[in-house]
Amino acid sequence: MRTRVQAVLLVFVVIAVAAFAVPLLLFTASDRTQQLVLARSADLDRFASLMDQAAATGDTSAVTAEARRYTQLYGEPLVVTDTRRVPVVQTGGLRAADPAVAQLLDAALRNQTAHPTGSLRPWSRGYRMFAEPAGTGTRVSGAVVLRASVGTAAEDITRRWALVLAGTALVAVACTVLARAATGWVVSPLRRLDRAVGQLAAGLPPEQTRAGGPPELRQLATGFNRMARTVTAALEQQRRLVADTSHQMRNPMAALRLRVDALHTHLLPSADRTYTGVTTELDRLETLLDDLLALATAEHRAGELTVTDGSGAHCDATAVAAAQHRLWEPVAHRAGARLTLRVPETPVPAACTDHELAQITDILLDNAIKYAGRGAAISLRCTAEGRCAVLTVTDDGPGLTTDELALATTRFWRSGRQNGTAGTGLGLAIAEQLLAGRGGRLELGAASPRGLRARAVVPGADRVERGAP
């Protein structure tokens, strides 16, 4: 945002400075050109007056001597003629017979003054021609043509333009510094506020935004800090409630299980069914507490990773897949399923810890073994797709319908066809949170010809970390 604001301000500065500098440059060139014209016009008036006196007295020595001294002093040639275009004096190689000079002389003898038009520029070179009639009123007694060099005037214009441009550059630099300071004054509080909003959105305690900048931003920062403290306190209380509840219920659950197990020896055989039901519900409740704690931990970790740099985490997805296959293959065998592994020979780097990837793989394999049924074929595959590492668990069980796939990651949701299978409906939600924290995603779809395919897509890493999960 700061760059965009600075760009807008700098464009305005450029336009404002240009609107000031360009007219000043044009005025400077026009003013110096006018000075040249006025100076040479004064010289022409003097020679015209001398020629008028020479025409009246018949003595041209004064005008001749003055013209030669002028050319010797200033290096600018001139031609003075009488009314018949007969040269009275010619200096510096300028001749009355030259076509350009002859044209100006004709105009001057018709009582017309010829001065150059257009302003000079620093790159102007060469000379300009001036012509003026001699005489008074409508009586013409001769003509004067002067060839003036523009080199000195162009040099003066160059110096003046350099001063103007230097001043313009200083103004532009000063405006740029002021623009950077102003945008920093305005944008820095917004950047801090944006960072705090990101932390709050991730469920983390945001840093207190320092009040700064314009009064409106200071008021906004103060209001945000009050809101952030209230929201953070509420979120922390909710998180602690879940964690503390899960933790504190473990001891009563353990004591309850001990008492139920102690009562088993005193129960009649007819009460075995009830005892089995009680222990099953105890197992389910313990699993639910474990999953609630795991979900709360996963959500908190995902929130941390959205606002912190987790790029240092890395592992070899191939090694994790192989380790989890060794761990779950006996479990699948006892459940009457067959678990196979397909991994590439080269490492597949993943931007997460091996513990996180192992936990995600455990959830996907546990679901496949439980819900695919006896005799199912389950495959665990690790691949590299572009810049991502992908772990895919595929089974040929009953799978899920399209509507069920849309609800599969919803907390506590379970398919109506799986009511007799143990589970809490939190596993896929936990896996999704773990993947989201690392910038990955969980993809669920139908397998071919039947069954379910679950893909855990994790961003790739630049290096791999060896080690068993």
**Average pLDDT, whole number, for the chain?**
82
Q: pLDDT digits over 283-322, tens only?
A: 777 777 777 777 776 666 665 555 455 556 788 999 999 9
Please say whether the beta carbons of 302 and 436 come within 8 A.
Answer: yes
Q: Which pLDDT does position 31 carry in this prediction?
A: 92
| Percent with pLDDT over 90 in the chain | 30
* Stronger pLDDT, 140 or 239, i.e. the higher one: 140
Q: Which pLDDT does position 469 carry in this prediction?
A: 45
Paired tokens of 269: 């055989």
Q: pLDDT digits over 84-108, tens only?
A: 889 999 998 899 999 999 999 999 9
**What's the predicted TM-score (pTM) here?**
0.49
- Residues whose CB is less than 8 angstroms from the CB of residue 353 and which lie 6 or more positions away in sequence, other chains included: 313, 315
* Max avg pLDDT among 223-232, 270-279, 412-421: 270-279
CA dist 435 and 442 (Å) reads: 7
* Stronger pLDDT, 350 or 181, i.e. the higher one: 350
Q: pLDDT digits over 154-212, tens only?
A: 999 999 999 999 988 898 888 888 877 877 777 777 777 777 776 666 555 666 666 66
- Determine the 3-state secondary structure of 424 from DSSP: coil
Please say whether the beta carbons of 90 and 96 come within 8 A.
Answer: yes
Spell out the alpha helix ranges (H) of 265-388. Answer: 272-307, 317-334, 354-372
State the average pLDDT over residues 210-218: 68
Judged against a pLDDT cut of 70, whether residue 270 lies above it is answered with yes
Please say whether the beta carbons of 286 and 423 come within 8 A.
Answer: no
State the average pLDDT over residues 340-355: 89
Residue type, 260: V
Helix (H) or strand (E) run with residue 140 in it: strand 139-149
Please say whether the beta carbons of 447 and 394 come within 8 A.
Answer: yes
Q: Which pLDDT does position 468 carry in this prediction?
A: 42
Q: Can you give 195-263 as a three-state secondary structure string?
A: HHHHHHHCCCCCCCCCCCCCHHHHHHHHHHHHHHHHHHHHHHHHHHHHHHHHHHCHHHHHHHHHHHHHH
